[in-house]
Amino acid sequence: MVGNSASEPDATGSLPLDAWTVAALMGGVEGLCEHMGTLTDAMLEQALQDEDNAGLDGATHDAPASIQ
């Protein structure tokens, strides 16, 4: 991890992070990546459905059509 001083311990003069800290941080990153993947899949699926219904005025909310 960036800033952990694990590869160059003398570069910063500080001690590397504990293993449990690195594991917790990496778990958070993994969870965030999974969430972003889920959101991307949902947005792609919605875009493909909207493309199929383009001629049917398929508004999904009350926003002006110019920003839908």
The DSSP secondary structure of 24-67, one letter per residue, reads HHHHHHHHHHHHHHHHHHHHHHHHHHHHHTGGGT---SSS-GGG
What is the rounded CA–CA span in Å between residue 15 and residue 21?
Answer: 13
pLDDT the model gives residue 67: 61
pLDDT the model gives residue 14: 74
Is pLDDT above 70 for 2?
A: no
This model's pTM is above 0.85:
no
Q: Which residue has the tokens 């969430």?
A: 35
pLDDT digits (tens, 9 = 90+) for 6-54: 666 677 777 777 888 888 988 999 999 999 999 999 999 888 887 666 6
Torsion (CA) 47, 49, 51, 52 in degrees, nearest 10: 170
